[in-house]
Amino acid sequence: MPARPGETLALWEALSSTTSVARGASVLVALGAADGLADAVRMPLATAARAALGELRERAGPQVQTVLTCPDCGAVLDVPLRLDDLLDATGDVPEGAESGLVTVDGVVVRGPTTEDLLVALTSTDPSAALRDRCVTWPAGVDATTPDPAVRERVSAVAEELAGASALAVRLDCPDCGGDVAAEVDAVALLADRVADEVRDLLSDVAELAMAFGWSEADVLQLSDARRHAYLDLARRGGAR
Ligand SMILES: [Zn+2]
């Protein structure tokens, strides 16, 4: 079912009125998955990214195109992203991670939230700051020199917890065979999609407002079918 125009506009306003770091949290609020921004910034980035991916799937269908540039030969590639595959890849929460926490070898690992990211970005070394906030070593263990095997298991769990917030695509360049890889930012993809929809919607509103002397609210109340029928009429000179 297509989203109602009012919902599309509300989502667009939420996405365009926040900084890119907090956009995932805005998505959770706009979709009703969080009570407010204060609540949403404490939810995992993975939850926000997965919600954005689901909303994008609803609006855009099973596939969206993204554009990547080959780092070796500079070829500009149109790459299809299969959203169902991405959703499947992020569907499994690591065992015991329902609470957002996983304990491995006594080390407690938490999926990063928007709040973690915002705090980490004020540090001189954001990635180390983010790790410090999300990984708690047991008392008496020196976090700077852990057993390499433990460190590896901790990283693996952290990666799993990042889920939909750390998606990537990888392909061979059809021109030179080089390795092309890029992160998939589900929230940014949703923001682009919603911005396109809003551009079309507002152009319909402007056209009908001018043709029939209606207000924005009048036009937004119309169903898609009626809006398109009136646009047809206006374009055929029906609004004399
Ligand atoms: Zn190439």
Helix (H, G, I), strand (E, B) or coil at 233: helix
Ligand 1 centre to CA of 66 (Å) is 16
Ligand 1 centre to CA of 183 (Å) is 18
Ligand 1 centre to CA of 71 (Å) is 7
Ligand 1 centre to CA of 172 (Å) is 8
Ligand 1 centre to CA of 78 (Å) is 13
- What pLDDT shows up at residue 237? 76
Ligand 1 centre to CA of 107 (Å) is 42
Section 99-112 average pLDDT: 86
Ligand 1 centre to CA of 75 (Å) is 5
Tell me the C-alpha distance between 213 and 216, whole Å.
Answer: 10
84, 113: one domain: no
Report the DSSP beta bridge partners of residue 103.
Answer: 108
Query: In the predicted model, is pLDDT for residue 73 greater than 60?
Result: yes
Tell me the C-alpha distance between 157 and 94, whole Å.
Answer: 8
118, 184: one domain: no
Ligand 1 centre to CA of 171 (Å) is 10
Ligand 1 centre to CA of 181 (Å) is 11
Ligand 1 centre to CA of 55 (Å) is 32
19 or 2, higher pLDDT: 19
By the 8 A CB rule, do 173 and 77 touch?
Answer: yes
Tell me the C-alpha distance between 60 and 186, whole Å.
Answer: 13
Domain of residue 131, residue span: 91-164
11, 114: one domain: no
Helix (H, G, I), strand (E, B) or coil at 38: helix
Query: In the predicted model, is pLDDT for residue 238 greater than 60?
Result: no
Ligand 1 centre to CA of 221 (Å) is 49
110, 204: one domain: no
Section 112-119 average pLDDT: 93
182, 81: one domain: yes
Domain-ending residue, one of 136, 164, 192: 164
Give the pLDDT confidence of 27-45 residue by residue, as tens digits: 999 999 999 999 999 999 9
**Cα separations in angstroms, 7 against 12, 59, 63, 109, 121:** 8, 12, 22, 36, 31
Domain-ending residue, one of 141, 164, 187: 164
Ligand 1 centre to CA of 174 (Å) is 7
Ligand 1 centre to CA of 169 (Å) is 15
Could you tell me what percent of the chain has a pLDDT over 90? 64
Q: Where are the alpha helices (DSSP H) in 5-79?
A: 5-16, 23-30, 37-40, 45-60
- Which pTM was predicted? 0.86
76, 15: one domain: yes
Q: Quickly state the pLDDT bin for 239 (edges 50, 70, 90).
A: very low
Give the pLDDT confidence of 134-190 residue by residue, as tens digits: 999 888 777 677 788 888 998 888 888 888 888 889 999 999 999 999 889 999 999
- What pLDDT shows up at residue 95? 55
Ligand 1 centre to CA of 208 (Å) is 47
5, 31: one domain: yes
Number of domains in the chain: 2
- What pLDDT shows up at residue 17? 82
Ligand 1 centre to CA of 74 (Å) is 6
Mean per-residue pLDDT of the chain? 89
Tell me the C-alpha distance between 11 and 146, whole Å.
Answer: 44
82, 190: one domain: yes
Domain-ending residue, one of 120, 136, 164: 164
109, 135: one domain: yes
Ligand 1 centre to CA of 69 (Å) is 8
- What pLDDT shows up at residue 93? 57
